[in-house]
Amino acid sequence: AQTVTQSQPEMSVQEAETVTLSCTYDTSESDYYLFWYKQPPSRQMILVIRQEAYKQQNATENRFSVNFQKAAKSFSLKISDSQLGDAAMYFCAFSGYALNFGKGTSLLVTP
Amino acid sequence: GAVVSQHPSWVICKSGTSVKIECRSLDFQATTMFWYRQFPKQSLMLMATSNEGSKATYEQGVEKDKFLINHASLTLSTLTVTSAHPEDSSFYICSASGGRRAEAFFGQGTRLTVV
């Protein structure tokens, strides 16, 4: 079974600064996807970024980028130029078949 | 991205009654749909996986007779909470996928309150 661990229950960042959310996972599979989802107070799940395990290049989506270390089974999310609208719960997820989610990190953005 | 519509967004029901939640993929065919449950300030817990035209696969500890899942078409899956009790109160979210490891798209979620 795959497990996803997010060791930071809460994180805080000042507006315009950079923050990194950590995620590690455990799997015996070689072909899989990793995701970061954002869940704002509305509770709608929003895909932030996706990484295919076979790709060595780290995925980037505007201000969001990942540091994917396959051998270390690490998948951290970096948010640059943080904005107030980035405040939310962030879930790391592993996709073998269904999505397995970590426990989440609550991100607070301060002015 | 693709759109998944979940209805209703919230529902209050009396203890002992049944409630049906619908999950529709609006602009793509979803071969697989997933149902999750989320308690306040917690992560999403997978309840069951359904594939169109076949029986749902339930995760360990999820009562299949209480949480009935039907995936009758490639665009619709339903979750029926039967004989609901207050402990069934929770936030239920569906997601739809076009295939294995494909990106999953989420519905808006349903907040169920059983009184």
Residue numbers in B near A34 (CB within 8 A): none
Instruction: Identify the bridge partners of residue B74 per DSSP, sorted by sequence position.
Output: none
For chains A and B, what is the number of CB pairs under 8 angstroms? 45
Six-digit token pair at A77? 């999310």
In this prediction, residues B21-36 reach a mean pLDDT of: 90
Position A64 scores a pLDDT of: 98
Position B72 scores a pLDDT of: 81
CATH topology of domain A3-8+17-110: Immunoglobulin-like (2.60.40)
> Cβ–Cβ of A43/B38 closer than 8 Å?
yes
Residue numbers in B near A99 (CB within 8 A): 34, 44, 46, 95, 104
Confidence band (pLDDT; 50, 70, 90) for B99? low
Chain B residue with CA closest to A94: the answer is B101
Q: What's the Cα-to-Cα distance from B65 to each of A5, B19, B58, B68, B114, rounded to whole Å?
A: 31, 13, 10, 6, 18
pLDDT higher than threshold 90 for residue B94: yes
> Cβ–Cβ of B44/A32 closer than 8 Å?
no
> Cβ–Cβ of B101/A100 closer than 8 Å?
no
Confidence band (pLDDT; 50, 70, 90) for B13? very high
B8 prior amide bond cis, ω within 30? yes
Instruction: Identify the bridge partners of residue A93 per DSSP, sorted by sequence position.
Output: A35, A101
Distance CA B115, CA B101 (A): 38
List, for residues B33-92, the tens digit of each pLDDT value: 999 999 988 999 999 998 888 889 999 999 999 999 998 888 999 999 999 999 999 999
List, for residues A41-78, the tens digit of each pLDDT value: 999 999 999 999 999 899 999 999 999 999 999 999 99
List, for residues A82-100, the tens digit of each pLDDT value: 999 999 999 999 987 778 8
Confidence band (pLDDT; 50, 70, 90) for B100? low
Residues counted in chain B = 115
Position B59 scores a pLDDT of: 94
Residues counted in chain A = 111
Place of tokens 């995701």: A35
Six-digit token pair at B89? 């109160």
Residues 48-107 of A with CB under 8 A from B: 50, 91, 95-104
Do A106 and A39 contact (CB within 8 A), yes or no? no
Position A76 scores a pLDDT of: 98
Amino acid sitting at position A48: V
Position A96 scores a pLDDT of: 72
> Cβ–Cβ of A43/B42 closer than 8 Å?
no
List, for residues A26-51, the tens digit of each pLDDT value: 998 888 899 999 999 999 999 999 99
Q: Which residues contact B76 (CB under 8 A, 6 or more apart)?
A: B22, B23, B24, B25
pLDDT higher than threshold 70 for residue B102: no
Confidence band (pLDDT; 50, 70, 90) for A9? very high
How far does A54 lie from chain B, in Å, by closest CA? 13
Domain ranges of chain A: 3-8+17-110
